[in-house]
Structure 1
Amino acid sequence: MELTQQSPDIGAYLAVDEAIDHEHPRVVEAATRLAHGTDTAYARAAFEFVRDTIPHSADTGDPRVTWRASEVLAARTGICHAKSIALVALLRARSIPAGLCYQRLADDDGTNLMVHGLVALRLPGSRRWARVDPRGNKPGVDAQFSLEGERLAWVAREQFNEVDYPVVYAAPPEVILHALRSAQDRSELWRNLPEGL
């Protein structure tokens, strides 16, 4: 799939905003701790750090809702959208252009459509975006860092009206951000996440 930038300016994918607060000391400290070797090695380390050390709140039953990168790192919990925001912040903290991507996914029977958050990154010198999924692995989910062939948690199934959205967003879409910011707990968030973009 050909990914397209929401903003033509690559600088938008290095910017700080309310959610992607990569100038926050907590994000800077984590980025510094992970920074060893090449840009590729750092991007992989940041991906694995978010995927493996920040549990998905649905997997652990944690009711807390996080949405700002520094908050996700402090609380060590979040849903896919929060974890994606944290990874984007870590990448931008080391000047690696990164943005947010989305899939519309359904339960195994095709019901309960929901938007799933991913990350796209573009290593300096590269001409293409690569999508990665920091959601967190569990039985039946094996997302891996790959700049060539995608190794996402899920593949969109057309028969269930699932979709891979091709846009790389520089900031979280307002509909996602509103759901995250306004939810009192994860069960309320689940009810308010959009079914599509």
Structure 2
Amino acid sequence: MSNATSPPVEPADPTLFLAADDVVQADHPAVVALARDLRAQAGSDEDLARLAFAWVRDEVAHSYDVRDPRVTLRAADVLEQRVGLCYAKAHLLAALLRAEGVPTALCYQRLGDDQGGHVLHGLVAVHLRGAWHRQDPRGNKPGVDAQFSLDAERLAFPVDPALGEVDYPTLHATPARCVVDTLTGADDVLALYDDGLPTGLDA
């Protein structure tokens, strides 16, 4: 768990993080329907963000954790198939919140992998209480306990700069091109996970 009181992200105009695109499908009917259902249960934008985070974290399985080879990228596909890598889950969460007017950015970390290299990890940042707050809906498992928090970050993975790990500070309105290109060209996400995911935003 990270103990940072504010995320290491660059300032950005929240109005730039409300639009739908081909991947963050905030205007797709299925995404809009779920967003409205969650809004009906929420008393505020904060409540909505908390509910949507928990829904994506817990109702969409992480592909590697459940050994599911299906490749999902676009928010509506993630919602329909209920499985995806961290990037895909972030795309769905961003789409759900944008559909209900909550500015949500995509952001990234470079983390160490089991082979001594690095892998790009995707998460989101939500704009609430006048600031950006990173949230990681990747899905919990033994050793991973990400929670929604607008105070101290409770992400899935802390970053260790001594290991070459990085919290990328840029907030993205659209998915990183390396993520889209990698997943678009894949037919087995498990094979991709073991050897083929981006190693950073510049790779």
TM-score (structure 2 length as normaliser): 0.90
1:183 paired with 2:176, answer no
Percent identity of the aligned residues?
48
Counterpart of 2:70 in structure 1 is: 64
Following superposition of structure 1 onto structure 2, how do residues 9-24 of structure 1 map, counting pairs within 5 Å? 9-24=13-28
1:138 paired with 2:141, answer yes
1:48 paired with 2:51, answer no
Deviations 1:22-53 (CA, angstroms, capped at 9, x unpaired): 11111011111111211100000000000001
Counterpart of 2:127 in structure 1 is: 122
Deviations 1:119-175 (CA, angstroms, capped at 9, x unpaired): 00102xx33100000000000000000011100001011221111111110000111
Letter of the 2:52 counterpart: A
CA distance in 2, matches of 1:107, 1:193: 11
1:4 paired with 2:10, answer yes
Gaps of 5+ in 2: 1-6
The ranges of structure 1 where at least 4 consecutive aligned residues each deviate by more than 2 angstroms after the TM superposition are: 8-12, 187-192
Contact 2:74/2:92, CA 8 A, preserved across alignment: yes
Gaps of 5+ in 1: none
SS at match of 2:15: helix
CA distance in 2, matches of 1:67, 1:34: 22
Letter of the 2:111 counterpart: L
TM-score (structure 1 length as normaliser): 0.93
Distance 1:139 1:152, change over 3 A: same
Letter of the 1:139 counterpart: P
Counterpart of 2:37 in structure 1 is: 33
CA drift at 1:187: 3.0
Letter of the 2:8 counterpart: E
CA drift at 1:9: 4.5
SS at match of 1:122: strand
SS at match of 1:129: strand
Give me the CA root mean square deviation: 1.4
Following superposition of structure 1 onto structure 2, how do residues 56-135 of structure 1 map, counting pairs within 5 Å? 56-107=62-113, 111-123=116-128, 126-135=129-138
CA distance in 1, matches of 2:192, 2:186: 5
